[in-house]
Amino acid sequence: MEVTAQSVWNNCLSFIKDNIQPQAYKTWFEPITAVKLTDHALSIQVPSKFFYEWLEEHYVKILKVALNKELGERAKLVYVIKMENTYGNKQPFTERIPSSSRGAVKSQNVDIPLNNKNPELKNPFVIPGIRNVKIESQLNPNYSFDNFLEGDSNRLARNAGLAVANKPGGTSFNPLLIFGGVGLGKTHLAHAIGIDIKDKYPEKTVLYISAEKFTQQYIDSVKKNNRNDFIHFYQIIDVLIIDDVQFLSGKSGTQDVFFHIFNHLHQNGKQVILTSDKAPVDMQDIEQRLLSRFKWGLSAELQSPDFETRVSILKNKLYRDGVEMEDDIIEYVAKHIKTNVRELEGAIISLIAQSSFNKKEITIALAKEIVEKFVKNTKREVSIDYIQKVVSDYFQMDVSTLQSKTRKRHIVQARQLAMFFAKKFTKASLASIGSQIGKRDHATVLHACKTVDNLSSTDKQFRKYVEDISKKLAL
C-alpha cells in the first residue's frame, strides 16, 4: 500500500483518538487535514495560528509519539496555516510554521507571504456586510477626566491614567489595572483614559468593552465557526479597555483566547486597560498565566472618597447640572453617605428631584429625610474580603493570621466568625466562602456556622463578639 500524507495522518489520528477525550479530539483534530509528505516530514493544515499554538501547548507530546510511530525517530511535522478567506481578498494565504523544538520536529524554513498587508477585518460592532466602517470606540463622552475629581482616594489611579493617555503603550503601566469596590469610578476612569487618547491620537483604534460582552462575542464566534475573525479583530486594536475583568473567572475558553490576544497586543506595543472589583492577588478562578500578566504593569486601587473629596464631587455635580445648593446641605449629604460616588450622586439627584416635583425648598430637614430613605433603601454590598478585614481588626490580627492553618483557639474562633458573617451577609456559596477564607472546604464553613450559633447561646463573651462585629458590618 502506498504511503501518503493522508494515510500517515489517518494512522496518527487513530492513535490520538484512543488516547484523548472525544470532545477534545472533535475540536482540535477533526478540522486538521494532511497536505504533504516529504521524506520524513508531514505537513498538516490547521485553521489558524491560535489553533497551532493550542496544539503545541497541549498536544505536542502525543503528536510526537504518534508521528514517531509512523515515520521513525527522524519524523518532522510542519504546520500550514490557511487563513479563512473572510477579508475580501480573492485568495487565501498560508503560513508554514515548523513545530517547536519541544515536539517532533525542527525545520528552518518559515514562509509567510506578504500579499495581505491590509486585510479588512470583520468588526463585531457593525452589521456584517458593511465595508470600510470605522470601529466605534464604545466610549461614553460624559465620562471624562474633567469630571473625575482628584482626591487622596484616587490620586495614583488618576495620574497613572493620565500618563497612559499621554503615551499609550509607551509607559511601564501596561497593562493598567484599575480595581476597587462598587461605584468608586473604575468605569468612569477607564472611559476617561480612552477619550483622552482619542483626542490626542485620532488615528489610534480605541475600544471599550465589558468582559461579559467579550465573553458572549467569543461564544458566538465559536458557534458560528469564525473564531479567527474574533481573534484577528481584537489583534488590530491599539488601546483595548476591558471592564470588570473578574467576569472571566471560571471561563477557561475565554481566558485562553484573551491570553493570546493580550500577548499579541502587549508584544506589539499596544495598550491594555483593565478594571476589576478586586486586586489580582484576590481574583478567584483566573488562570495563573493571566494573573501574572495582569501584574506586569500597574495595579492601582480606587478607595472610598474622603469627606473633602465627597464635597468636591457634589459641588462639581451641581455646577454641571446648573443647580445651586447651600454648603451646609451639601456637607450634610457628604457626611452621611460615605460608601461610594454612585450613591453620593444618587442621593443629590433624589434631593433635587424631590424638591422640584413637590415644589419644596431644599432644606436640611428635606436633606435628612432623603438621606435616611436613601441609606435605608441602599443595601450595602459587604464583601468576604471586607468581613475578614473587620474581624481581623476586631481581634487585632492580620488577615493572613486569620487565614492560616494554626489551631490556636482565639484564631480559630476569629476564622469561624468570619465564615459565619460571610454566610450571613453575602450570597457566596459555602465552597466559595471556604476557598476565600484560608482555602477551607464547604464542610468546614458549615461546621463554623454551627459552632458560632452554639457558642452565641452558651458563652456570654462570645455573644459579645458576635454583637460587636455585627454592628461594625451593619454601619
CATH number at residue 203: 3.40.50.300
Cis check: omega of the bond before 175, within 30 degrees of 0: yes
Asked whether residue 450 is assigned to any structural domain, the reply reads yes
The DSSP call for residue 270 is -
The DSSP call for residue 65 is H
- Alpha-carbon distance of 163 to 193, in angstroms, equals 9
Note the maximum CA span of the chain.
97
Q: Are residues 361 and 273 in the same domain?
A: no
CA–CA–CA angle 36, 39, 41 (5° rounding): 55
Asked whether residue 138 is assigned to any structural domain, the reply reads no
Q: Are residues 178 and 317 in the same domain?
A: no
Q: Are residues 280 and 191 in the same domain?
A: yes
Q: Are residues 22 and 69 in the same domain?
A: yes
Asked whether residue 150 is assigned to any structural domain, the reply reads no
150 φ, ψ (degrees, to nearest 5): -85, 140
Asked whether residue 344 is assigned to any structural domain, the reply reads yes
CATH number of the domain that residue 315 is part of: 1.10.8.60
> What pLDDT tens digit does each residue of the chain (475 aa) get?
578 889 999 999 999 988 888 877 887 888 898 988 887 888 888 877 767 777 877 888 888 888 888 888 888 888 887 544 333 333 333 444 444 433 333 332 333 232 333 333 344 444 333 334 467 788 888 888 888 877 777 888 888 898 899 888 888 888 899 888 777 788 889 999 999 998 888 888 888 998 888 888 888 888 888 788 888 888 888 899 999 888 888 888 888 888 888 888 888 889 999 998 878 877 777 888 888 888 888 888 887 777 777 887 787 777 776 767 777 778 887 777 766 677 777 777 777 776 666 666 677 777 777 777 665 444 455 788 889 999 999 999 999 999 999 899 999 999 999 999 998 888 777 888 888 898 888 889 999 999 999 999 999 999 999 999 988 886 5
Q: Are residues 265 and 402 in the same domain?
A: no
Q: For residue 219, what are the domain limits?
A: 155-302
Q: Are residues 320 and 428 in the same domain?
A: no
Measure Cα distances from 450 to 12, 256, 305, 389 in Å.
57, 40, 38, 22
pTM of the full structure:
0.51
Asked whether residue 55 is assigned to any structural domain, the reply reads yes
Q: Are residues 287 and 410 in the same domain?
A: no
Asked whether residue 128 is assigned to any structural domain, the reply reads no
151 is annotated as contributing to ligand binding: no
Residue 427 DSSP SS3: coil
428-469 residue pLDDT tens? 778 888 888 988 888 899 999 999 999 999 999 999 999 999
Asked whether residue 454 is assigned to any structural domain, the reply reads yes
186 is annotated as contributing to ligand binding: yes
CATH number of the domain that residue 75 is part of: 3.30.300.180
The pLDDT, as a whole number, for residue 101 is 34
The alpha carbon of residue 2 and the mean position of all alpha carbons in its chain are separated, in whole angstroms, by 52
Asked whether residue 126 is assigned to any structural domain, the reply reads no
Quote the number of domains for the chain: 4
Q: Are residues 161 and 278 in the same domain?
A: yes
With a CB cutoff of 8 Å and minimum separation 6, the contacts of 139 are 191, 194, 195, 198, 206, 208
Last residue of a domain, one of 302, 324, 342: 302
Q: Are residues 435 and 466 in the same domain?
A: yes
Q: Are residues 351 and 397 in the same domain?
A: no
Q: Are residues 183 and 217 in the same domain?
A: yes
Measure Cα distances from 266 to 47, 192, 257 in Å.
24, 21, 14
- Residues for the chain: how many in total? 475
Q: Are residues 445 and 313 in the same domain?
A: no
Last residue of a domain, one of 377, 399, 428: 377
187 is annotated as contributing to ligand binding: yes
Last residue of a domain, one of 49, 70, 98: 98
